[in-house]
Structures are given as structure tokens and as C-alpha cells.
Amino acid sequence: MLEGPVQAVLAPGEHRVHNGARQLLGSGRIRRRGPGSVGAASVAAGQGEPGSGSPGQRGHSQARLHSVHPRLCHVGEPRAGPGSPLLSEAVAFAGPGTGGVEQPVLLADLLTELGLGQAQAADAALHLLHLHLQQRDDVALLVELPQQLLRRGARRQRVRVVGGASFQRTFLPYPYRHRQPPGPGPGYHRRGPQLHLHRQVDGLHVLGRAPCRGLGGGAGALSGGGGRSGSSGGGGGGAGAACGPRRLALVDAAQGEDGGHPHQSRPGSGRDVAAAARRAPLRQQPAAFPDVDNDTPRVLLRRVIRNQPQVSPLAPPVADHKETEDAPSEPSSRRTSSMVELQLPDIVPEDTSISTFRMTRSRKKLSISQFERAADKRLPQNQAHSTLDSTLARSLRMSLGSVLAPDTVEKKGLLRRPKNRKAIDIAAFEGGVEQNMQRKAQNYLVDLQTASVIEAATATSDAEIMLNNTELFVQPQSVEQNQKKLSALEPQLSESKTPVQRSEISNATQEEGKLVGRVSSVGTDEGRTRRYSEEELINDGEHVDNMAHVSQKTSANQGEDEQGYSQQSEPMEQLSTSEEVAGTINRWSSSLPSRSSSRSPVILKPRRSFSMSLREVVSRIIEELDVSDKEEEMANAVNEVEQEEISREAMEHHTNAGYSEHLEKKLTEKAESQIIMSPEEEGVAEGSVKHQDSPKPEPEMARSARAGSLSRHSHAFSSFEKSGTKPSEEAVEQADELLEDGAVMGELDGSEEESTEDETEMEGQESEEGSMKTPTFVRAPAYHPLPLLSTPHSAKPAAPASPLQPQQAKPVPKTSRKSQKKKREPALASSYIKQIFRHYAKMPVTRDAYQIIEKCCEKYFKQLSDDLEAYAHHAGRKTVEMADLELLMRR
């Protein structure tokens, strides 16, 4: 096939040539293959030459043909076709045809005449032209001839090929030329700087390339296109067979592209062809520099798009877009461009975001450790700071409370104090108001009672506290105490000489039964007692009446005053009344002067105010009664009061009845020199305060109490008050009260008689009996002297404070003794723990931290024991084995 057009191309020319071609063809038909073609070609050439009109030309043409012939033969032979020899001959004819312009046409005509068919003829002519042009390098021919041939109907393909081939041969430099004979096609896409097949415009496809734009844009493109087409047409026969399909493919593609450009006209086909030629290879090869003039905007955009992705590494899809959107061209190109643009900005923010993200990430990563730590610190500190504190505080407090219980009972005492104090303070206000009222009434009584007054001011506060405490403590026991006191009073009354006491007792019971505001009553009683005290100092008989009076008045007062202190005052009043009665009874039995009787009621009723005022009164007493027998008594009374106070404290601390008995005995036994005991009192008081468990303070205090008991009734007042105030703090102090009552009873008895040993012994016996039978009642009188002790005890702040502490500490050591024994034995040595922890910590550790460590250790051991028990129980064993421990350690 190709040979045919080749031949046709080869034999374009005039009629002569035509004829010659016919001849050739005719001869060629006979001998199509082999040298026959050559001969035909030569014949044609020879004929063509004469056809040209000039024998010279013919000769020339023949010569050309001949020269061309071998090529044709080479080209045609591999693809022997029906018209190959003819074509070769025609080519031979066309070769010499200087009238190249015409010759191809003629040759095509000739070929057509030969019977190739117009298309084939034209193609052959094109081929001839191509070959011819190869030698002649005639651009014009390359451009025009193919066009002419196209008119003839030459296939565009071939025209292209021819044009491309010719173009290549004409324009391409040397190195490319010898490559071209195999075909311009393959060269196109192989070599970058080479010509590119452009889109065909009306059949002309030109391959244009960057270096040859200027020329290639116009004629070169055309020629290239034409040459290519021509060569493609003859490529099958002439140019390399391998290039054929490629060219065809290129051409086809070019054709397809050209199909979309109907607007392009021939005149402008040059440009279009060039552009087309450029576009075609765009797919295969990257476009050359954009040809502003010749390239269409589509092409330009394509190039831009193509180039863009190359520049921006972050838009790989852009290249794909470009390639796929060749057809849509502009809109697609715009899209791609926009895409690229969008992508670029997208990338930018992405970059920034990524960068920022990374930054943040890195920042986070960098500060994670720190942040975590800080967060752990801050969060639990801030958020759960309160909870931490609260929980920790609670835990600590709990632990402290539990852990330190065995160790520091004093702390418990301290802890308790504020609690009580707070509650008391509120009531203190109320009591203080009436206390002031009562002070005046008490002053005189206290003067009578107490001789030595040291520090009333300091004692007042303590006395208040004592009174307050006593009130609280007295509440639960008031009834019992009253009952006991009453019962105790009764035996005492039986012993007593006056039946008036019984009446008084009965009255007292009535009074005790009533819970009334006793402060006012006490106040009134105090006032009365004052007067009575004065009188009593003189007469004992009056004392009885006064007592009766007092009792009656107290009852009346109790009935009147109910609100006052209510809770606080009631116990006070109860005790006061009971103490009153007991005191009165005791006084009666001891046959003391009016002092006791006067003092007792005074002391009994307004305990708070009493303690408050006692000290003041004591001071006044000292001032007023400087010279009197009572001074000694007062001094003794003070000492006794102090002793009683201490003894009372001691007794309060120990709630065992046995202790009470023991104390009573001791009191009775050791009622000798009060002065001797006074120095002991201090030590005893302090010891009682500080010491928790040991019963030592008990005997000591008992001794002091007993020594105090020897004192006169003046002491009884304070002791009574003391006893009343102290037990109010703790419910456990009932026994203490009993003891105190018993002791005070003995004291009162002894003091009344102003006899030391005998009286105390007797009173002690009595008190013992009383305590045996009616411990509370026995105690009741004991309370009275003790409060008195509190007032002169101002010199010893520890003493007033001690009653609180020992009161609080007493039950604690009592209850915790056994627990202490239990816990203290197996308790891990704290020094040991400290040692280990210090070794592990390798840093100095604060003492407070050790407390926490100890607490942690205890918790740990508890957990440990629980876990081991669980493990053993799970295994059905009652003994913890090694396996359990191993399991524990594996956790």
C-alpha cells in the first residue's frame, strides 16, 4: 500500500511523467517486486523526464529518479506492494523533476492514471516529493506540494508523514537526518529538541519543536506535517516500517485533535498546524517553549499547567489534571490552574497548620513530662486541694486520733478542751451575766472561806471554765448525783444531830428534782449565804436555820429561775443543791461554824460564778480579814482547797470505784500537815495533768486531797465547786465525783473539827462508808471544797488547767490502757522505720513527714494482713503460706 503512494509520490509530475509512470507502472505491474520496480521506476523516471519537456530534465529527472530509486527500492522493497515498483518509478520520475512544484502533482496524476487511485497517487506523489525534498531541502516545496497533493486527495496521513519527513530532512541538523530514514515518526517522540508532530490542519500535521519554532512555526510545521503525512503515507513503504504505526498513531491523534478545530482554515493552517503539531507531541513529549504567536491559548495554558506542577512539589495531582484535560483545554486548564492555585493556598495553610500542629505537638511532647507533673501537682492541689486537704486532714486527724491515742492522751485532752470550751463559751456569756450578779453576794462568803488569795484574775477564768465544765458534766449525772447525794445525806443525817438536816435533805431532794435556773437562785443563795456566813460565824444554831432557809430559798429560787442557763445551769444547780445539802449536812455533822454552811450553799449554787468570784472573793477576804483566826483557817482552807482540788482531779481521772475507795482511804490517812502537802499538791497537780495512765497521781492527789480534807470548810467551798465543775466535763467522772465526794466529806469533817488526824480518820471512815453506800452523794460534798481550792490555786495555773486535762485525760488513759498495751507491744519501732526511710530516701526528712510515713506503714500493714488473709482463705487455709506471700509480691 505504501509503496503505491510512494511511487505515486515519487512519480509526480507532468504528463510525461505520468506517462512514464504509467509505463513504469505497467511494467511495474508485470514485475512489481524485485528489480522490476527499479526498472519501472527508472523507466518512469526516464519517461518522466521527457515528459517534463526537456531531455535534460528528463535525464535529470531520470538521474534523480535513479538516485531516488534505490531509496525507493529500499523503501519499497520491504513492503512490496502492488504499486511499489510503480511508485518507485514514479519517484524516479519525480526526482529529477526540478519543477518540483508541479511534479508532485503531475506525478500524482500520473499515478492516478496508472490506476493507483487518486488517493494513492497523491500519496505516492507526496512520497516522491518527500524524497525529492530530502535532497533539495526546499521548504517551499515541502509546504506547497503536500498541499497540492492534498487537493488531489492524498491522504492526510501520508501528507503528514511526508511533510514531517521532508521537514525533518530539510531542517533538522545532520545528526538527525540519518535517523530519519527509518522514519520521522519515531524520531519525533524520541528526541526532545526535535520537531514535534503538531496537529494537522486540514490534513497537514507538522511537528514543531522549540529550536525550530521560527521556521517550524510556519512552513516548517507545514512541511513537517506534510512531510510526515507524506512520509506516513509512504512510510509504510518507504520510511521505516516500525515508524509507521507510530506515525499513524500520532497522526491519528493529531487528526483527532484537528477534528476539534473546524474553525481553522488553511491560510491559518500554518499556525494551526504548528500548534497542532505542538499539541500532539505534548502528550508524548514536554512542550517546547511556548510559541506566543503560533500556539493557541490552550497550548499555552497547557504548558503553564504542565510547568506548574513541576515547580510546586505539593501538587502532584495537577500534572494528572493537565494530562487528562487536554481536550477541554481552556476550561480544564483554568480549572487546573485554579486547582493548582487552590492547592497552593491549601498547601500553604496546611503547611502552616501542619507546622503549627507539629509545633504544638512538639510543644506538647516537650512539656508532657513537665505538664503531667505540674498537672498532678496543680490539679490535685487546686481542684482537689480542698478535698486533698480535707481528706488528708481527715485522714491525718483520724490517724492522729487513732495513732496518737495511745501515745498522746494529753493531745486528746487538748483536743477535747477546745471542743468543750467552745460549747462552753457560749454558755459562759450567759453565765457571766448572772455571775456578776452573784459575785457581789459571794464576795463576803469567799472572804470568809479563803484566806490566801493570790491571783484572782487568773483564777477567775479558770474557775469559769471549771464551772462551765462542771455544768456540762453535771448534766447527765445530776439526777443520779442528786439521788446519791440524797441517799448519802440520809445516812449522814442519821448520824447528824439535827433532824433539820433531814428536812433540809428532803427539801434538797425536792429542789434537786426540779431543773431550774439555779444561777439566780444561787445568786440569791449566795447573797443569803453571805449574810448567813456572817451569822454562822457566830452561831451554829442559826446555821441550821440558815441552812433550812437556804434550802428553802434554793428550792424557791430553783422554782423561780428556770431559763437562765437551762442545760448548763441545771446541772450546776442540781449539784449545787446536792452539794448544798451535803455540805450543810456535813457541816452539821462536823459541827462546823457557820462558815461551812454558809460556804457550802454559796459554793454549791453558783459554780461558775463561784469559781469566778471565789478568787475575787478570796482576794477580798484576804484584804478584809487580815487579822483573824480565820486567816489561818483560810490559809489552811486554801491549802486544803488546793489539795482537795488536786485530789478531786485525781479522783476524776480515775473512774474506778475502787480508786475512789482507795483515795478515800488515802485521804483519811494522809490528812496531816497541810503545808507539807501543799508543795506536793503542785507536783501532784502537774503530774496528774501530764501523766495519763499511772495511778501515781491518784494516790498523790488523794493524799493531797486528804490533806486538804483536813482543812476547814472554807476549803470545802472551793472543793465543792471544783468537784462540781470538773465532773461536768466528762460523764465518766461519776466515779470521780464519788471519790471526790467521799474525800471531800472526809475533808469537810476534818476541817470542821479542826482536827487533823483524828477528824480525818473519822471523817474518812464516814466518808468511806458514805462512799461505799452512796458514792455520788459522798462526792457531792467533796465537790464543794474543791472549788474553793481552785480560787487560791490561782498561783498555780496548772492546777486549774489540770482539772480539765486530767478530767479529759482520765477516761482516755483508762480506756486506752488496754488498747495501748495491745497496740504498743506489736507496734513497729518508729526509729526503725525512720532509719529505713532515711536510707532509701537519701535526703533529709522532716519530722512531720515521718508522722505520715508511720501512718502509711500502719495502713500498709493493715492492707497487708487483709490481703494475706484473703489469699489464705481463698486457698482454704488458715495459715499464710509462702505461696500467699509470693502472690502478694507479684502484684
Nearer to other proteins, 392 or 538 (CB): 392
Out of 304, 657, 827, 875, the residue judged to bind other proteins by CB under 8 A: 827
Rounded to a whole number of angstroms, the minimum distance from the CB of residue 822 to other proteins is 6
Q: Does 292 bind other proteins (CB under 8 A)?
A: no
Q: Does 886 bind other proteins (CB under 8 A)?
A: yes
Q: Does 875 bind other proteins (CB under 8 A)?
A: no
Helix axes 629-653, 798-809, angle to 10 degrees: 30
Nearer to other proteins, 320 or 372 (CB): 372
Q: What is residue 784's three-state secondary structure?
A: strand
- Closest listed residue to residue 204, CA positions, set 180, 229, 184: 229
Q: Which residue, chain included where needed, has cell 491522504?
A: 155
Nearer to other proteins, 1 or 875 (CB): 875
Q: Does 878 bind other proteins (CB under 8 A)?
A: yes
Out of 174, 263, 818, 848, the residue judged to bind other proteins by CB under 8 A: 848
Q: Does 342 bind other proteins (CB under 8 A)?
A: no
Of residues 444 through 463, those in contact with other proteins by CB under 8 A are: none
Residue 552 burial (10 A CB sphere; 0-12, 13-18, 19+) = middle
DSSP 752-774: HHT-SHHHHHHHHHHHHHHHHH-
- Quick note: the x/- pattern for other proteins over 344-383, rule CB under 8 A, is -----------------------------x--xx--x---
Beta-bridge mates of residue 226: 163
Out of 175, 263, 629, 882, the residue judged to bind other proteins by CB under 8 A: 882
Nearer to other proteins, 731 or 852 (CB): 852
Rounded to a whole number of angstroms, the minimum distance from the CB of residue 832 to other proteins is 7
Of residues 804 through 823, those in contact with other proteins by CB under 8 A are: 822-823
Which ranges in 139-204 belong to alpha helices (H)? 139-152, 156-171, 174-177, 184-190
- Quick note: the x/- pattern for other proteins over 386-425, rule CB under 8 A, is --x---x---------------------------------
Q: Does 868 bind other proteins (CB under 8 A)?
A: yes
Nearer to other proteins, 310 or 819 (CB): 819
Q: For residue 439, give Cα distances in angstroms to 87, 174, 713.
A: 156, 141, 19
Do the Cβ atoms of 210 and 295 come closer than 8 Å? Answer: no
- Nearest-angstrom CA–CA distance, 608 and 614: 9
Pull the grid cell for residue 181: 530514514
- Closest listed residue to residue 582, CA positions, set 599, 607, 563, 600: 600
Rounded to a whole number of angstroms, the minimum distance from the CB of residue 745 to other proteins is 44
Q: Of 28-36, 284-292, 433-441, 846-854, which segment contacts other proteins by CB under 8 A?
A: 846-854
Q: Which residue, chain included where needed, has cell 526509729?
A: 831
Q: Does 657 bind other proteins (CB under 8 A)?
A: no
Q: What is residue 730's three-state secondary structure?
A: coil
> Could you tell me how far CA 586 lies from the centroid of its own chain?
74
For residue 475, how many C-alpha atoms fall within 13 Å in the half-sphere facing its CB?
Answer: 13
Do the Cβ atoms of 448 and 526 come closer than 8 Å? Answer: no
- Closest listed residue to residue 600, CA positions, set 332, 232, 264, 590: 590
- Nearest-angstrom CA–CA distance, 718 and 726: 12
Rounded to a whole number of angstroms, the minimum distance from the CB of residue 368 to other proteins is 15
Out of 852, 874, 875, 876, the residue judged to bind other proteins by CB under 8 A: 852
- Nearest-angstrom CA–CA distance, 644 and 649: 8
Of residues 166 through 195, those in contact with other proteins by CB under 8 A are: none
Nearer to other proteins, 74 or 877 (CB): 877
Pull the grid cell for residue 527: 447573797
Out of 175, 267, 422, 843, the residue judged to bind other proteins by CB under 8 A: 843
Residue 525 burial (10 A CB sphere; 0-12, 13-18, 19+) = buried
Rounded to a whole number of angstroms, the minimum distance from the CB of residue 851 to other proteins is 7
Rounded to a whole number of angstroms, the minimum distance from the CB of residue 813 to other proteins is 20
Q: Of 9-17, 324-332, 690-698, 873-881, which segment contacts other proteins by CB under 8 A?
A: 873-881
Q: Does 426 bind other proteins (CB under 8 A)?
A: no
Rounded to a whole number of angstroms, the minimum distance from the CB of residue 634 to other proteins is 53
Q: Of 135-143, 419-427, 716-724, 858-866, which segment contacts other proteins by CB under 8 A?
A: 858-866
Q: Does 887 bind other proteins (CB under 8 A)?
A: no
Out of 548, 851, 874, 876, the residue judged to bind other proteins by CB under 8 A: 851
Out of 80, 314, 344, 880, the residue judged to bind other proteins by CB under 8 A: 880
Q: What is residue 201's three-state secondary structure?
A: strand
Q: For residue 13, give Cα distances in angstroms to 58, 64, 93, 94.
A: 11, 13, 7, 6
Rounded to a whole number of angstroms, the minimum distance from the CB of residue 309 to other proteins is 53
Q: Does 876 bind other proteins (CB under 8 A)?
A: no
> What are the residues whose beta carbons fall under 8 Å from the beta carbon of 147, sequence distance 6 or more?
204, 222, 226, 266
For residue 657, how many C-alpha atoms fall within 13 Å in the half-sphere facing its CB?
Answer: 10
Out of 151, 457, 860, 874, the residue judged to bind other proteins by CB under 8 A: 860
Pull the grid cell for residue 319: 500534572
Out of 346, 351, 632, 881, the residue judged to bind other proteins by CB under 8 A: 881
- Closest listed residue to residue 171, CA positions, set 110, 112, 223: 223
Do the Cβ atoms of 74 and 85 come closer than 8 Å? Answer: no
Give me the residues that bind other proteins (CB under 8 A), please.
373, 376-377, 380, 388, 392, 822-823, 825-829, 832-833, 835-837, 839-846, 848-849, 851-853, 856-857, 859-866, 868-869, 872, 878-882, 884-886, 888-889
